[in-house]
Amino acid sequence: MFASLEDVLAKMRENGAARIYAKELAPNDNSKNQVYLGGDFSALNVLPHGDIYTDETDLAGSVRDRAKAEIEFYWIDHDGKHLAPNAGLILYPKYPEVRMSGFLLGCNAAPSPIMRVRETGRVLILGVTPSGKILGYAAGKGDVVAEQVLSGDWPTIGIFLELPLWLDSTQSSRAILLSELRRIWEMHWIASQKLGGDGFKKPYSARNGGGYTLEAELGVAPNSYAEPDFRGWEIKQYSVRDFEKFAPKSPVTLMTPEPNGGIYRTEGVQEFIRRFGYPDRSGKPDRMNFGGRYDCRRGAHPLTGLRMSLNGYDQSSGTISDLDGGLELVDAQEQVAASWTFKGLMKHWNRKHAQAAYVPSLFQTPPPQYRYGPLISLCEQTDFLLFLKAFASGRVYYDPAVKIEAASTASPKIKRRSQFRVAHMELPALYKLYERIQF
For every residue of 349-398, DSSP letters joined together read HTTS-SEEEEEEEEEETTTTEEEE-SEEEEEEEE-HHHHHHHHHTTSSEE
How far is 140 from 119, CA to CA, in rounded Å? Answer: 9
Percent of the chain with pLDDT over 70: 96
Strands (DSSP E) along 264-354, which ranges?
278-279, 287-290, 307-311, 313-314, 319-320, 326-330, 336-341
**What is the rounded average pLDDT of the residues 102-125?**
96
pLDDT of residue 223: 59
> Which CATH code of 2.30.40.10, 2.40.110.10, 2.40.330.30, 2.40.100.10 fits the domain covering 5-163?
2.40.330.30
**22 membership: H or E segment, kind and range:** strand 19-25
How many Cβ atoms sit within 10 Å of the Cβ of residue 105? 12
b/e map 188-210, b = 16+ CB within 10 Å: eebebbbbeeeeebeebeeeebb
Using pLDDT thresholds of 50, 70 and 90, give the confidence band for residue 228: low
How far is 419 from 110, CA to CA, in rounded Å? Answer: 43
Residue 56 has pLDDT above 90, yes or no: no
Residue 86 has pLDDT above 90, yes or no: yes
Q: Where are the CATH 2.40.330.30 domain residues in the chain?
A: 5-163
Residue 59 has pLDDT above 50, yes or no: no
**What is the rounded average pLDDT of the residues 59-66?**
54
Residue 60 has pLDDT above 60, yes or no: no
**Orientation of helix 5-14 relative to helix 144-151, angle to 10°:** 90
How far is 80 from 280, CA to CA, in rounded Å? Answer: 60
**Orientation of helix 173-186 relative to helix 209-218, angle to 10°:** 120
Pairing of strands 355-364, 233-239: parallel
How far is 378 from 250, CA to CA, in rounded Å? Answer: 19
**What is the rounded average pLDDT of the residues 40-52?**
93
Identify the DSSP state of 124. E
How many Cβ atoms sit within 10 Å of the Cβ of residue 390? 21
134 - beta bridge partners?
Answer: 73, 128
How far is 103 from 235, CA to CA, in rounded Å? Answer: 33
How far is 358 from 428, CA to CA, in rounded Å? Answer: 12
pLDDT of residue 57: 60
Model confidence pLDDT, tens digit, residues 201-210: 999 999 899 9
pLDDT of residue 324: 87
**What is the rounded average pLDDT of the residues 66-72?**
92
**What is the rounded average pLDDT of the residues 399-416?**
94
What CATH topology corresponds to 171-439? Answer: Alpha-Beta Plaits (3.30.70)
Question: Model pTM?
Answer: 0.90
**Higher pLDDT residue, 22 or 220?**
22
Q: Where are the CATH 3.30.70.3570 domain residues in the chain?
A: 171-439
Using pLDDT thresholds of 50, 70 and 90, give the confidence band for residue 47: very high
Identify the DSSP state of 199. S
Using pLDDT thresholds of 50, 70 and 90, give the confidence band for residue 102: very high
How far is 377 from 435, CA to CA, in rounded Å? Answer: 6
**136 and 124 in contact (C-beta within 8 Å)?**
yes
pLDDT of residue 154: 93
Strands (DSSP E) along 108-247, which ranges?
122-128, 133-139, 156-157, 160-163, 190-191, 193-195, 201-203, 229-230, 233-239
How many Cβ atoms sit within 10 Å of the Cβ of residue 345? 21
**What is the rounded average pLDDT of the residues 51-63?**
63
How far is 317 from 40, CA to CA, in rounded Å? Answer: 12
How far is 419 from 426, CA to CA, in rounded Å? Answer: 16
Model confidence pLDDT, tens digit, residues 250-305: 999 999 999 999 999 999 999 999 999 999 999 899 999 999 999 999 999 999 99
Model confidence pLDDT, tens digit, residues 129-183: 989 999 999 999 999 999 999 999 999 998 999 999 999 877 888 999 999 999 9
Residue 61 has pLDDT above 50, yes or no: no
As a whole number, the mean pLDDT across the chain is 92
